[in-house]
Structure 1
């Protein structure tokens, strides 16, 4: 989350009169984000903190495995309120008010499901930028081709699973995304192929 905060602070610093940053968090992520904002802003820039809305959607602790689903689960309600300029009540009790709907969204790969909400409400009027400062492994698995260890095209697989099992499409889609069968073998095969190709090219 650190690189996202650094980017947000740079944007607010560049256009302090027009850039408003809204960040949904959960649990102790709020304290961590607040500290990171304070760290990024100099003592002369502390007034810029009023340009930030850090909104806690609930949860406790700092275990990302437990907190990320809370953010994802509450994202549709959060973004719907933001889009409609409705007040949003933080888990701390503070009420955030907005004068302008989002102009752009910066998201990492864990927000893939949330992007559907953005597109549904904002259509293509709000650009979505992907910031991926971490390992490309998770992204490759989620959106990469099957021959490199990725899931491949999720929608047809989810539809087929839903038809076979009678599950709802959303349940089937989640099951496809969480299917770990064949990851190691496929990835090892891809890596071995790359290694052999590199070795031959250097021979």
Structure 2
């Protein structure tokens, strides 16, 4: 079927943001076969994104051809440079789409033919693109934010101060910098996660002290990233036409109601579309295909499945601990490898996904895990397959929204 309407998605390279966005794109084209969707992402995660796309379509379903996943940045071993460069790369590539020009994926080298001029841009709220897109197409395109995070956390990061948000941290940092010898950037990083002992009131979570929000040891690079995201999100949600949230009032009723009311006060629309996971359509063929393709994205997909079966046979149901801290974040190494030592001593089987580029696996720990026969390390694990397996009993997680939703769907305690 011919493409009559064109939607463009902009995504950061974090898996917690792009996975649900792919699922959303699939839902759209399956229901509206004349819609084409171009997804702009980055080289570091583009192959896994393409594999994820295949999990939502049965063999022969041609609607998957209505989704194009295009890398607008080449691979970069420094994930932070990658993240900070994504917005500019997306806007630059969008200009070609708006002009009706062909566009080339920087990872595969494949060139795509023009589709109709886009009428809708759905962009991650962490990407500073609103002004750039409107400069290219000032009247003809609607811009909606994509906010896949926990909504209480979203209110804190870029909401107004009267709703428990940090407010305009850039403006506050500039004022404070004039009074002190500290740089505005240093102050801004602190204001995102202050430690003043003040009580914070955010919809959806109990009252808590500011230092309880992020009790981990400070990481200057992560502080800078959080500060950047907070500032961009603050401006995005006030400049765009609305926001799409893959959440559910069954899980976050207070936070969603507060966020919707706030957006409405700004004249913005809020679209709550529900959690996004592969659809169970009752056909084993699609279920098996989904598992197969998720395994294909992993460096040890088949080994992990065999390990799960072996664990089930030797240790029984709900015996295995699955450990993952997402595709970017990484906890204090001394603490996490100390935890691994303990579960080995307790003879508890485990799978540890170490996807973060900041992950460091000490040789001693790797050797101990291998010799124990109780654990398996993976750079990228098929998380849904693991959580759905009968051997899995617990999930040690950073509680990213993807992990949170997938764990709930599988009934695995965190």
Report SS of the residue matched to 2:200.
Answer: helix
Q: Larger radius of gyration, structure 1 or 2? A: 2
Matched, 1:104 2:120: yes
Instruction: Note closer, same or farther for the CA distance 1:180–1:138 as it changes in structure 2 (3 Å cut).
Output: farther
Deviates more, 1:81-90 or 1:116-125: 116-125
* 1:19 shift after superposition: 0.7
Instruction: Note closer, same or farther for the CA distance 1:131–1:147 as it changes in structure 2 (3 Å cut).
Output: same
Aligned to 2:292: none
Aligned to 2:160: 145
Structure 2 Cα separation of the partners of residues 159 and 130 of structure 1 = 27
Q: How does 1:80-119 map to 2 (within 5 A)?
A: 80-91=95-106, 92-111=108-127, 113-119=128-134
Structure 1 Cα separation of the partners of residues 32 and 71 of structure 2 = 25
Residues 45-80 of structure 1, C-alpha deviations (whole Å, 9 max, x = no match): 1x2232122111223268753432232231221111
Instruction: Note closer, same or farther for the CA distance 1:109–1:182 as it changes in structure 2 (3 Å cut).
Output: closer
Report SS of the residue matched to 1:181.
Answer: helix
Aligned to 2:47: 31
Q: How does 1:160-199 map to 2 (within 5 A)?
A: 175=185, 179-181=189-191, 183-185=193-195, 188-191=198-201, 195=207
Q: How does 1:67-86 map to 2 (within 5 A)?
A: 67-86=82-101
Task: Give the TM-score taking structure 2 as reference length.
Answer: 0.38
Matched, 1:133 2:145: no
Native 8 Å contact 1:57 1:70 kept in 2: no
Instruction: Note closer, same or farther for the CA distance 1:119–1:176 as it changes in structure 2 (3 Å cut).
Output: farther
Native 8 Å contact 1:151 1:177 kept in 2: no
Structure 2 Cα separation of the partners of residues 105 and 187 of structure 1 = 40
Structure 1 Cα separation of the partners of residues 149 and 201 of structure 2 = 20
Report SS of the residue matched to 1:117.
Answer: helix
Aligned length in residues: 182
Query: Which runs of structure 1 show a deviation greater than 4 angstroms over 4 or more consecutive aligned residues?
Result: 61-64, 154-161, 175-178
RMSD: 3.4
Q: Point out which structure has higher relative CO (alpha carbons under 8 A, 6+ apart).
A: 2
Structure 2 Cα separation of the partners of residues 132 and 182 of structure 1 = 18
Residues 114-162 of structure 1, C-alpha deviations (whole Å, 9 max, x = no match): 122122222243222223222236633552224666442468568879x
Aligned to 1:21: 37
Query: Which of 29, 32, 35 is the aligned partner of 1:12?
Result: 29
Structure 1 Cα separation of the partners of residues 151 and 187 of structure 2 = 16
Q: How does 1:43-54 map to 2 (within 5 A)?
A: 43-45=59-61, 47-54=62-69
Instruction: Note closer, same or farther for the CA distance 1:182–1:32 as it changes in structure 2 (3 Å cut).
Output: closer
Greater percentage in helix: 1
Structure 1 Cα separation of the partners of residues 125 and 143 of structure 2 = 12
Aligned to 1:168: none
